Structure 1
């Protein structure tokens, strides 16, 4: 039995009956909050398994639990997540990526309760691809270290309860997605820090750049910009004076701005713990496996 077979079989089943179907197909599962995405087990997606007894025990304890499936090498499935939110959707960027040939090789598409889409691709065990989020494009990638909620799970939306449901299966040959190429296409990396005529980072231009950041990019963007100024010797209080007003205009609070700037200054003064600050950007933030469990990679 394949993933496609399971997706065809489970729409009329309860999650309690569907979870063993995924496991029987070699797809590890774990329970999530009924009507939601939060894992119910202590270690979240790290607890996912194929063991029939463990799965039965979980759903005896939580009969209405949604089904979570880890992405990446553990399940052999990577997922592109097209978001639908109040401030926009990822479908425009998705269609551009399709036309560019970056989303060929899918296994299936699953409609999410919000009206978005999960697009399933085969993952490669020898070359795992990490999760990422492109907030401005409203497209996320769930690979190694992430998970998705799968059919027939449900979610509580503003217009009622809606289910994750199979939208389509591909008849074409499947192949892994190049997640890095997709990210560069929908969310190009920032250009080097703006500099003035002397070659030093320009506080004015950095502030202008911060003013264009969107939700999901703001903290990392301020941190990155503060690092650029701190690296050339600008003091924390002066960085706050230069970047603070722009950060406040995009919704960051005064204390949040101060914490972020002082954290950037500590990092650039030698407390990086081996992380290269010059390579840090709002789109590349290192995290340990333990940190990844706490980050919102599950959809």
Structure 2
């Protein structure tokens, strides 16, 4: 029964993957293909790397930064040939993403609500991490950037245990991408359907609240 349920969940997610990629592109958010969460021979990832360190949660191509696009025809072509590909959103272009433990994310959302602070889009990854989408930093603030490539994760902010800042040269897995567990990335607060309506909050305001929440949720 569990396998049947998992197959159904996977089928629904595959059907929505192209639609989601096109919706993000319509918002002006570049997308690229992510590896499928399962491969041949019982491997956890569809890529060709043995012992993939991040199964189903990284781009298909090492040149993802150049390939990412909002071109709907190119996106349709990608998913017509690779319908099980997950959806990757590069960061540091239209938005940055703060990546925190789910418990700290829940705490931060409650605090934002009480303080009247706009949270912006927020996604959940396998009930373990929350992704807070915020306005990207300008090139003037180069000292605020961390880089992330195919085989690494963003550096953690030392003063805020458990908090990662995805910005230029980094990326996040987007809903409804599927993880090896069979669970899908989901929106807690979904973006609006048009760029004009999708307001991204100031990163420093959100960072302050997330930092406090991470420190309380994960005391050093």
User: Which structure carries more relative contact order (alpha carbon 8 Å, separation 6+)?
Assistant: 2
Runs of 4+ displaced beyond 6 Å: none
Deviation at 1:96, TM superposition (A): 11
| Unaligned runs of at least 5 residues, structure 1 | 1-10, 189-213, 215-299
Does residue 83 of structure 1 match 2:87? no
What TM-score do you get using the length of structure 2 for normalisation? Answer: 0.60
Q: Figure out how many residues of one structure are paired with residues of the other and give that number.
A: 169
Deviation at 1:54, TM superposition (A): 2.1
Query: Equivalent residue for 1:119?
Result: 132
Deviation at 1:165, TM superposition (A): 1.1
Within-5 A mapping of 1:1-299: 14-35=16-37, 36-72=56-92, 74=93, 76-83=94-101, 90-91=104-105, 94=108, 104-127=117-140, 129-131=144-146, 132-134=155-157, 137-157=161-181, 161-168=182-189, 174-178=200-204, 182=208, 185=211
Label 1:13 to 1:91 Cα distance change in 2 as closer, same or farther (>3 A): same
More displaced 10-residue stretch of structure 1: 138-147 or 121-130 = 121-130
Deviation at 1:91, TM superposition (A): 4.8
Does structure 1 conserve the Cα–Cα contact (< 8 Å) formed by 2:112 and 2:118? no
How far apart, CA to CA, are the structure 2 residues paired with 1:114 and 1:184?
Answer: 17
**Secondary structure of residue in 2 paired with 1:18:** helix
Considering only CA atoms, is the larger Rg found in Structure 1 or Structure 2?
A: 1
What TM-score do you get using the length of structure 1 for normalisation? Answer: 0.46
Aligned-residue Cα RMSD (Å) equals 3.8
How far apart, CA to CA, are the structure 2 residues paired with 1:97 and 1:130?
Answer: 26
Label 1:42 to 1:19 Cα distance change in 2 as closer, same or farther (>3 A): same
